[in-house]
Amino acid sequence: MKKSVLGSMLLLALLLTLVVGCSNNNSEPANNEPAAETNGNEGKTGKTKIQFWHSMGGKNGEYIDKMIKSYNDSQDKVEVIGTFQGGYQETLTKLQQAVPANTAPDISMLERAFVPLLAEAEVLADFYPLLESTGMSEDEFLPGLMENVKFNDQLNALPFNRSTPLLHINKTMLDENNLKVPTTWDELATVANALVVKENGEFKRYGYSMPYASWYPIAMIEQLNGGFFNAEGTGMGFGEEGVKTFEFLKEMQSTGALYYPPAQDSGNIVNSMFASGQIGMMMESTGVIGRHAGVVEFDYMTAFLPMKDKQATPTGGANLVMFESSKNKEAAWDFLHWVFNDPKGGQQFILDSGYVPFTKKMAESAEMKEQWEKVPARKVAYEQLEYAIDTNNDASFAAVDQIFLKATEAIMYDNADIPSTLETFKKEAAELMKE
Q: How far apart are CA 362 and CA 203, in angstroms?
A: 45
170 shares a domain with 190? yes
What pLDDT sits at residue 211? 96
Mean pLDDT of 92-118: 94
170 shares a domain with 244? yes
175 shares a domain with 156? no
139 shares a domain with 11? yes
What backbone phi and psi angles, to 5 degrees, belong to 96?
-60, -35
Name 151's bridge partners.
Answer: 154
254 shares a domain with 190? yes
Global confidence as pTM: 0.86
Answer whether residue 390 is part of any domain: no
326: three-class secondary structure by DSSP = coil
Answer whether residue 172 is part of any domain: yes
130 shares a domain with 58? yes
Answer whether residue 35 is part of any domain: yes
| pLDDT beyond 70 at 1 | no
Mean pLDDT of 164-168: 95
198 shares a domain with 143? no
Q: How far apart are CA 20 and CA 49, in angstroms?
A: 31
133 shares a domain with 40? yes
Please name which of 259, 218, 264, 239 lies closest in space to residue 404, comparing C-alpha atoms: 218
289 shares a domain with 188? yes
CATH number for the domain harbouring residue 228:
3.40.190.10
Answer whether residue 304 is part of any domain: yes
Name 141's bridge partners.
Answer: 359
What pLDDT sits at residue 392? 67
Answer whether residue 41 is part of any domain: yes
334 shares a domain with 294? no
Long-range contacts of 263-267 (CB under 8 A, 24+ apart): 263/23, 263/212, 263/409, 264/23, 266/24, 266/211, 266/212, 266/213, 267/24, 267/28, 267/29, 267/211
Number of domains comprising the chain: 2
Answer whether residue 124 is part of any domain: yes
Torsion of CA 221, 223, 229, 231, to 10 degrees: -140
Answer whether residue 388 is part of any domain: no
The string of DSSP letters for 76-123 reads SSEEEEEEE--SHHHHHHHHHHHTTTT---SEEEEEGGGHHHHHHTT-
| pLDDT beyond 70 at 10 | no
Asked if 248 and 185 touch (Cβ cutoff 8 Å), the reply is: yes
For residue range 335-389, list pLDDT tens digits in order. 999 999 999 999 999 999 889 999 999 999 999 999 999 999 999 999 999 999 8
Answer whether residue 430 is part of any domain: yes
Asked if 141 and 320 touch (Cβ cutoff 8 Å), the reply is: no
**Parent domain of 416:** 165-314+396-434
What pLDDT sits at residue 364? 97
Q: In this predicted model, which residue has the larger pLDDT, 1 or 213? A: 213
What pLDDT sits at residue 42? 43
Q: How far apart are CA 207 and CA 282, in angstroms?
A: 8
What pLDDT sits at residue 330? 97
What pLDDT sits at residue 417? 98
For residue range 41-85, list pLDDT tens digits in order. 344 558 999 999 999 988 899 999 999 999 999 999 999 999 999
Q: How far apart are CA 432 and CA 16, in angstroms?
A: 13
Q: How far apart are CA 283 and CA 274, in angstroms?
A: 10
